[in-house]
């Protein structure tokens, strides 16, 4: 597995971990962790399925979907050798591999790109939009092709927080600009 340079505690605290008031042994809330805002899906849910494969930090395969899902609003370094590329893929794998997600299109966007990939959001059962969480962690950049996605401002704001905090690709060793 690629070495993750995000500082596992910071990523887990800011994105993955939620309070465990019932004491179930699930991930516990860390002191000072920033909760990613819950998100309401703008489009009709396309399907609920399990993430079966991670292509890279912004493309996944989901059971019940016959083509790759290109995640909306974000852009990950594609090449594993590019600074942040392997880390973006590792982050997506940590967050999504084997987990149930709701795949939701965005009413402001086409449903497929020129390669035939489904353009959609992946939303975890707790309401976490992966695109927002990945931008917050610094694993991806905010991305707009022609028309901004419905949550472009939120994704851009999450990226700015990651950049200002030096998280993920915005910190060492990449210092992306």
What count of other Cβ atoms lies within 10 Å of the Cβ of residue 105? 20
Name the DSSP class of 53: E
Q: Which of 104, 14, 94, 18 is nearest to 62 (CA)?
A: 104
pTM comes to: 0.76
Continuous H helices in the chain: 8-11, 85-96, 130-137, 152-165
The verdict on domain 37-170 having CATH code 2.40.50.90 is yes
Write out pLDDT tens, residues 13-38: 333 333 333 333 333 332 333 444 44
Query: Looking up tokens 């998100």, which residue turns up?
Result: 39
Write out pLDDT tens, residues 36-67: 444 455 555 568 999 999 999 999 999 999 99
- The proportion of the chain whose per-residue pLDDT surpasses 90, expressed as a percent, equals 64
Q: How confident is the model at residue 163 (pLDDT cuts 50, 70, 90)?
A: very high
Domain boundaries, the chain: 37-170
- The residue ranges of DSSP E strands in 57-161, in sequence order, are 59-62, 69-71, 74-75, 100-104, 118-123, 141-142
């Amino acid at each position: 597995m690629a070495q993750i340079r995000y500082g596992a505690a910071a990523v887990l605290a800011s994105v993955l971990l939620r309070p465990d008031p019932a004491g179930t042994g699930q991930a516990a809330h860390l002191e000072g962790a920033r909760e990613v805002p819950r998100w309401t899906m703008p489009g009709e849910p396309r399907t609920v399925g399990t993430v079966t494969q991670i292509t890279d930090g912004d493309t996944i395969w989901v059971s019940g979907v016959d083509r790759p899902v290109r995640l909306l609003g974000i852009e990950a370094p594609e090449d594993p050798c590019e600074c942040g590329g392997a880390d973006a893929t590792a982050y997506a794998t940590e967050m999504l591999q084997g987990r149930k997600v709701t795949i939701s299109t965005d009413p402001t966007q086409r449903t497929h790109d020129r390669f035939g990939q489904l353009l959609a959001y992946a939303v975890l059962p707790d309401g976490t939009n992966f695109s927002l969480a990945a931008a917050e962690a610094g694993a991806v950049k905010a991305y707009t092709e022609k028309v901004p996605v419905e949550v472009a401002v939120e994704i851009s704001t999450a990226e700015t927080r990651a950049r200002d905090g030096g998280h993920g690709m915005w910190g060492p060793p990449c210092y992306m600009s």
